[in-house]
Structure 1
Amino acid sequence: MKSKKMFALTMTALMTTSIALAGCSGDGKSADGKVELTFMFRGNPEELKAYKATVKRFEEANKDVKVTMVQTAPDQYDTKLKSAIAGRKVPDVFFYNPAQVKAYVNSGVLLDITKNVEGSKDIQLEDIWKKGVDKYRYDGKVLGKGAIYGLPKDLGPFALGYNKTMFEKAKVPLPDKDKPYTWDEFIQVAKKLTKDTNGDGKMDQYGTGFNVNWALQPFVWSNGADWINEEGTKVTIDDPKFIEALQFFVDQQLKYKVTPSIGESQTLDTYQRWMKGQLAFFPVGPWDMAAFKDQLKFEYDLLPWPAGSTGKPAGWVGSLGIGVGSTTQHQKEATELAMYLSANQEGQ
């Protein structure tokens, strides 16, 4: 019964997205003759407010354009975007992961916006992070070179945050901002902060709650390993140092039990646990600042990621791109919106 309900909810969500995106069909014009664009993105409520205000300014500066915003929760975004692509309802402008550049270009999803970007009077490529722009370049063979298929929405680091209030309540010494924990030190602290606070036999707070997609990297890199070699010609996950880092990451849950089990995470994900003050350590991105300011009921601070055998901490810097759908009926206006959201100083 539960699976049927989940299936029904999933189908309803996908149909809602499809209906919203269907607004760009026909001649792409609204009833009042304005150019209609769809902008699909993900984010928390604070980001939604910011983007609504930014899109409104874009519309005020472009009186003949109307933008329909399709916003989804971060954990549902990729599924809904892929559903829209499969249903041939590609948004005019949308967020996408740089790891998808090659696949989306080869399958004809993304529009080459190089000429529009390089010929723009409102933005200058040299004002944008080069590494950010290069994430969305592809010459048909090599990523990071050639034509531009998007611009960076951001280039943001995942710092490591800690619940300062939890530390103080447990009388655990606060981390040193200038000296990273060793892996062993980190586990010992996480164990002290993994507790059954009400005596019901179930853990009410945990030391960690790391997602493998963006929290494994600091452990691998600080242990002197990587996924590929420097030349980009060989996969190196069979390196003993890589295996050691991966084992340490897994052990946090299975051996040391300082992070929620898979079942517990499905009941309440680790982001929500952090927001509720139930985790000692959690990755923090700059996009979280506004939400944390208003919603956290505890004090938090930042510290270096625990260091492996190199003794040096490492951190992951990620990005999202803003691309233009190749099927858009309004390439000029869609590209101008993408540029405004990414690189225009007023938009920023």
Structure 2
Amino acid sequence: MNRKSKKMFALTMSALMTTSLALAGCSGDEAGADGKVELTFMFRGNPEELKAYQATVKRFEEANKDVKVTMVQTAPDQYDTKLKSAIAGRKIPDVFFYNPAQVKAYVNSGVLLDITEAVETSEDVKLDDIWEKGVDKYRFDGKTLGEGAIYGLPKDLGPFALGYNKTMFEDAGIPLPDKDKPYTWDEFVDVAKQLTKDTNGDGKMDQYGTGFNVNWALQPFVWSNGADWINEDGTKVTIDDPKFIEALQFFVDQQLKHGITPSIGETQTLDTYQRWLKGQLAFFPVGPWDMAAFKEQLKFEYDLLPWP
């Protein structure tokens, strides 16, 4: 199978799933016992995503009778480690997901294939239909990120809404949030304190107001305080702005001052995502990719509201 065919596998998957895949630049093509070309597709995701990808791969194989795709599903919290191990061992999957923060390193080390021509000439992928800044996250010209050749297409680009445990609110007799009138941060902390409880009287908290991950949930704190990581023209880092520092301190204070989020030690025992699934958090960020899984996994009612 030639490189163009391998590119089209990635592009076909992208078109069918409105998701992004990267293509390995140095993975070998091997034929199985049945004479079919064997390709590997490595991804992370929940069972609902697996079903969607199985359907996509089936459609691809039906359209390409000489190809067999082996799917490698990995738990989200293990994916990066396993992908890096595969790269280090030169057992790179043909198609895989990767974080845009890794574009530069993976291009420079020859891991990724330049798919620019295939993307731009494909009848299946319409760049005009994909958020431009999403595509730019996977561009690199050898010097500047966001410019030049394309080494992947965006996956899971979307907002984190703020989810809340509706059942927990109702059980506690606390009025449900007003979707048209966001909390102030002080109001949010006050409600979160009311929902941080030792429910069995053993001296340990059994539920918390929230459990935000700094990688995914610091942005609303910073932006709502009038700060940002860089200036508007992208020429200066601005994390020394007093407003940024104030927002970061407020984020940290949720644990150290207000006690509405689990400690670092507690999250090592059970991370906040799992606590949310178990109904132990009042508020938690919800991405659109989570919603199918939550429909099956959550044993409580939840809803969405704007960030404070």
Q: TM-score, normalised by structure 2?
A: 0.89
Distance, in Å, in 2 between the alignment partners of 1:167 and 1:121 is: 49
Asked if residue 271 in structure 1 is aligned to residue 273 in structure 2, the reply is yes
**CA-to-partner distance for each residue in 1:97-137, whole Å, 9 max, x for gaps?**
11111121122111100111112122222122222212111
**CA-to-partner distance for each residue in 1:126-178, whole Å, 9 max, x for gaps?**
12222221211112222222111101223221110001111111111111112
Q: Which amino acid in the other structure matches residue 207 of structure 2?
A: Q
Residue 300 of structure 2 corresponds to which residue in structure 1? 298
1:29 corresponds, among 14, 31, 42, to 31
Residue 316 of structure 1 corresponds to which residue in structure 2? none
Q: Which amino acid in the other structure matches residue 221 of structure 1?
A: W
Residue 119 of structure 1 corresponds to which residue in structure 2? 121
Residue 232 of structure 2 corresponds to which residue in structure 1? 230
Residue 220 of structure 1 corresponds to which residue in structure 2? 222
SS of aligned partner of 1:173: coil
Residue 42 of structure 1 corresponds to which residue in structure 2? 44
Q: Which amino acid in the other structure matches residue 125 of structure 1?
A: L
Residue 80 of structure 1 corresponds to which residue in structure 2? 82
CA 1:121–1:247 in 2, change beyond 3 Å: closer, same or farther?
same
Residue 149 of structure 2 corresponds to which residue in structure 1? 147
Asked whether the equivalents of residues 27 and 94 of structure 2 are also in contact (C-alpha less than 8 Å), the reply is: no
Number of residue pairs aligned between Structure 1 and Structure 2: 283
Residue 319 of structure 1 corresponds to which residue in structure 2? none
Unaligned runs of 5+ in 1: 1-23, 307-348
Distance, in Å, in 2 between the alignment partners of 1:149 and 1:80 is: 20
SS of aligned partner of 2:56: helix
Distance, in Å, in 2 between the alignment partners of 1:27 and 1:279 is: 47
Which structure has more relative contact order (CA 8 Å, sep 6+)? It is 1
SS of aligned partner of 2:40: strand
Residue 204 of structure 2 corresponds to which residue in structure 1? 202
SS of aligned partner of 1:278: coil
SS of aligned partner of 2:158: strand
**CA-to-partner distance for each residue in 1:291-315, whole Å, 9 max, x for gaps?**
1111211111111112xxxxxxxxx
Q: CA RMSD in A?
A: 1.4
Q: Which amino acid in the other structure matches residue 167 of structure 1?
A: F
Shift of 1:30: 1.1
CA 1:26–1:246 in 2, change beyond 3 Å: closer, same or farther?
closer
2:100 corresponds, among 89, 98, 101, to 98
Asked whether the equivalents of residues 136 and 150 of structure 1 are also in contact (C-alpha less than 8 Å), the reply is: yes
Distance, in Å, in 2 between the alignment partners of 1:154 and 1:68 is: 22
Asked whether the equivalents of residues 252 and 258 of structure 1 are also in contact (C-alpha less than 8 Å), the reply is: yes
CA 1:26–1:295 in 2, change beyond 3 Å: closer, same or farther?
closer
SS of aligned partner of 2:155: strand
Distance, in Å, in 1 between the alignment partners of 2:120 and 2:302 is: 42
SS of aligned partner of 1:282: strand
Residue 188 of structure 2 corresponds to which residue in structure 1? 186
Residue 20 of structure 2 corresponds to which residue in structure 1? none
Q: Which amino acid in the other structure matches residue 188 of structure 1?
A: D
Distance, in Å, in 2 between the alignment partners of 1:184 and 1:298 is: 26
1:71 corresponds, among 73, 80, 84, to 73
Unaligned runs of 5+ in 2: 1-25
1:54 corresponds, among 47, 53, 56, to 56
Distance, in Å, in 2 between the alignment partners of 1:242 and 1:27 is: 49
Give 1:236-315 correspondences, 5 Å limit. Answer: 236-306=238-308
Distance, in Å, in 1 between the alignment partners of 2:232 and 2:143 is: 18
Asked if residue 174 in structure 1 is aligned to residue 196 in structure 2, the reply is no
Shift of 1:188: 0.5
Asked whether the equivalents of residues 182 and 306 of structure 2 are also in contact (C-alpha less than 8 Å), the reply is: yes
SS of aligned partner of 1:53: helix
Q: Which amino acid in the other structure matches residue 255 of structure 2?
A: Q
The runs of 4+ residues in structure 1 deviating greater than 4 Å are 24-27
Asked whether the equivalents of residues 132 and 154 of structure 1 are also in contact (C-alpha less than 8 Å), the reply is: no
